[in-house]
Amino acid sequence: MTTDTPDYSVPDYLKQLRLDGKNFVLLGAGQGIGEATAHALAQAGARVLCVDREEELAARIAKAVNGVPFAADVTTRENMQRAFDTAVSSFGQVHGVVDIIGMAYLRPLLEFDDATWTLQFDVVVRHAFLAVQIGAELIAKAGGGTITFVGSVAGDRIVPPETVYASSKAALHHFVRGAGVEYAPRGVRVNAVSPGFVRTPRLNQILGAEAWRAVGESIPLGRAATPAEVAGPLLFLASDLSAHMTGQIIVVDGGSTNLTPFPKVFVAPKKG
């Protein structure tokens, strides 16, 4: 009797995590999750084009990881194309993209005007569309690779007053699922991580110690994530350890979205 099951051999798992000889475009590399991800990619052996809209931040992180800096607002097609052209001129080929770009405009629906609505979707979804449309072609030509985004648990949950931001993240999640299926036959895997609260520089400026304690009380692990704890799953999705994954959204939230907000009167019974 014969089967279609291939012979099993133990893979070199740590080698699958390595990105030696791979060239990555990192969008939003300047600080927070982007900065941590630049170090993660570089430590795994990748060469990184460090893209940030602030020239000083792009230069600083590129120097730290021996990468190439590129400063531009890549929510426009022209600048996104220039970023990938720079990657090709610097490295020859592109094997992967990690896109960290995103910002939340938090206000009630009634306070959004048309311009801010467009801005919110541009800063969450438009650059993702451009990154895939331009980047996936280059990755396919290089023999395949990965594109990885940062979504948000807000994309799958109702978090007042985040209706517009959450809608843009929900759109990003669905875009990832669709692009993952569409580009799979060409060897380009598209995935995302979906973080909850993360101690990024931007949020640290907004939230004080008391607010962070309150956040921690809502998370089973007892605290918000660090940028490095999001960069780890991003590295996993960028590597061959995730070789059979595409169109997937990995939640990184310390277990918070598993909770149902019951009133505090519902408590566990005491022993005895």
In whole angstroms, give the CA distance from residue 20 to residue 9: 22
Burial of residue 205, with CB atoms counted within 10 A of its CB: 0-12 exposed, 13-18 middle, 19 or more buried: exposed
In whole angstroms, give the CA distance from residue 267 to residue 262: 9
In whole angstroms, give the CA distance from residue 108 to residue 151: 21
Q: Which two tokens stand for residue 20?
A: 């030696």
pLDDT of residue 271: 63
At residue 160, the 3 state secondary structure works out as coil
In whole angstroms, give the CA distance from residue 54 to residue 58: 6
pLDDT of residue 126: 96
**pLDDT tens for each residue of 20-62:** 999 999 999 999 999 999 999 999 999 999 999 999 999 999 9
**pLDDT tens for each residue of 69-105:** 999 999 999 999 999 999 999 999 999 999 999 999 8
Which residues are marked as active site? 165
Q: What is the pTM of this model?
A: 0.91
Helix extents (H) in the chain: 13-17, 32-43, 55-64, 77-91, 114-121, 127-141, 163-183, 201-206, 209-217, 227-238
Residues of the chain with pLDDT under 70: 1-5, 262-272
Q: Please give the domain boundaries of the chain with CATH numbers for all domains.
A: 19-254 (3.40.50.720)
